[in-house]
Structure 1
């Protein structure tokens, strides 16, 4: 009962001062909006991956954030991420990063992924990293033939 009375009292006070909850929320959301160009975005993530003191958690966090966005990272960001994996001595993370990038290509994987591999091939060779296809990860190891193929 006390909670209900306090809630009604707060609504009366807000109404008397002219404070609208929705207007306050909109003002906060609009004030935190930043305008960052694509070049600034790329430079920010490239610099983040190029830090010498980056640890495994930070690398995974940045990679997860990038893969969670509705975009395919630029090849220079992918190269910086692969070099960070090499500094961390984490080959598995590099392979998962490549798998995630291929997955983020979506329905355009036939056009975007070959371009990406072409652009990052020198770095892959330099670091000794193979693509998921070269490792055979694109084919399941113990998959059975479909009943329609028998």
Structure 2
């Protein structure tokens, strides 16, 4: 038998004849406006372009962005790489490129496309790709 103190800890449980049941699940749907792809891209470009962005915010933003079920657009990555240059953080720039390669998964055409689009930025900022540095994953 479960004591009354334990039942108080489970405030949502109700007792019905020696059996305990949980309340039914309730779904709360959001009525918020759906963000378009352009708004999404613009929001992240703006985030990485903040002049007072620090290394912690850069890493947090990239972790959040990489957590989504997508490969970031080159314009977002351009902004993130420029933030790495402002912060003098080459290691984060390389990690960003490695994360993009990893996120591309089995779609082998995505990563070369992203690198092709970022090539002018990489040359301008003096950032080498993981391949140019000889960093290969087995």
TM-score (norm 1): 0.76
Show CA shifts across 1:59-80 (max 9, x none). Answer: 0011111111111100000000
Alignment match, 1:102: 101
**How far apart are residue 5 of structure 1 and its match?**
6.1
Distance 1:50 1:11, change over 3 A: same
Alignment match, 1:69: 68
Structure with greater strand share of residues:
2
Q: Unaligned regions of 5+ residues in structure 2, if any?
A: 16-22
**How far apart are residue 96 of structure 1 and its match?**
0.5
Alignment match, 2:20: none
Identify which of 113, 125, 128 aligns with 2:126. Answer: 128
Moved over 2 A (4+): 1-12, 20-23, 31-34
2: CA distance, partners of 1:134 / 1:39: 32
Distance 1:5 1:92, change over 3 A: closer
Q: How many residues get paired?
A: 128
Matched, 1:85 2:84: yes
1: CA distance, partners of 2:72 / 2:12: 51
**How far apart are residue 3 of structure 1 and its match?**
2.6
**How far apart are residue 138 of structure 1 and its match?**
1.7
1: CA distance, partners of 2:36 / 2:53: 24
